[in-house]
Chains A and B, each alone.
Chain A
Amino acid sequence: MVLEFKIDLVYHESDISDVPIVCVNGEIDVYTSPKLNDTLNKIINSENKEVVLNLEKVHYIDSTGLGIIAHNADMFTNKGGNFKVVCAQPQLRKIFDVSGLSKKNVKLFEAEAQALAQN
């Protein structure tokens, strides 16, 4: 099934600050990943110390998508922030494992609530 690529940016209100949540829908590949990069760049350039990238509605991600996630995770971490990814799909988890990204600056969570609850 072909799903249209869409990025929704919402803000979760917390006691400390509003946490941006980037919800992606569709496939992240060489064609769509620049749009994701643009969204993450805007957040990095703001005052936010934390971002949650929700991939629950993503059914495909390739190395260009992972590269953008890794690059932005580094940028965020270098600013003293947290880069969290929500991803429960076994196939996507496998891609993160094969790439080694799950052992780097990217924190993986199975649900959005978990990601928001952890500091």
Chain B
Amino acid sequence: MPTDLTTADRVELSIPCASDYVGVVRLAISGVATRMNFSVEDIEDIKIAVSEACTNAVQYAFDGEEKQSATIKIICNLHADKLEITVKDNGKGFDQAEVDRKKQQKSEGTAAVSEGEIPTLGLGLTFIQSLMDEAEITSVPGKGTSIRMVKHI
């Protein structure tokens, strides 16, 4: 790995927007983090955070037929002192204020749940922010979402 902090080795993965590929991402990220000599606990944290970001994209980024040809990109930048991972999609994006409002409703128990829908805890982003040293979520409705996460060695 480079010692110059301004450059980094780059590992990229692109997966179909399908739930059965999230496990593949976990294996790849484990490999990258192991290569960087992260501790076992840090490797687990990184796996969970990246998996949650991919799960968010699988569940919410695309609808219907668009989902069948859609992809999710996972870009890893391996610095000397940190691992930076970005999970990106070019799906429908979301309005952060709307997400916050729905989260508030869930915590108050006033959220509407459609028939057959399993209520989620809205934990994905919470895990990312708790388990990684840095987390930045950027989303533009109609353009897509990018979640950038960093774990320091």
Contact = CB atoms under 8 A, between A and B. Distances in A.
B20 A31 contact: yes
A91 interface: yes
B91 to A, nearest CB: 16
Interface in A8-57: 27, 29-31, 37
B23 A71 contact: no
A60 interface: yes
Contact of A31 (B23, B119, B120, B131): B23
A27 B22 CA distance: 11
Contacts of B23: 2, 27, 29, 31
Given A29-B23, A30-B19, A98-B131, A63 B124 contact: yes
Main secondary structure of the interface of B (DSSP, over half): helix
B89 interface: no
Contacts of A30: 19, 22, 55, 58-59
How many residues of A sit at the interface, in one of the four size bands? Answer: 20 to 34
Contact of B55 (A27, A60, A62): A62
Nearest to B119: A71
* Overall SS of chain A's interface: helix
A58 interface: no
B48 A95 contact: yes
A102 interface: no
Interface residues of B, number: 25
B26 A60 contact: yes
A30 B54 CA distance: 10
A88 interface: no
A63 B123 contact: yes
Given A30-B55, A66-B121, A67-B119, 19 more contacts: A27-B23, A27-B26, A29-B19, A30-B22, A30-B58, A31-B19, A62-B52, A62-B127, A63-B52, A63-B121, A63-B127, A64-B120, A67-B121, A70-B121, A71-B118, A71-B119, A95-B48, A95-B127, A98-B130
Interface of B: 19-20, 22-23, 26-27, 41, 44, 47-48, 51-52, 55, 58-59, 118-121, 123-124, 126-127, 130-131
11 contacts: A30-B58, A62-B48, A62-B55, A62-B127, A63-B55, A63-B121, A63-B123, A64-B55, A95-B127, A98-B130, A99-B127
Q: Closest 3 A-B residue pairs measured CB to CB?
A: A63-B123, A31-B19, A30-B19
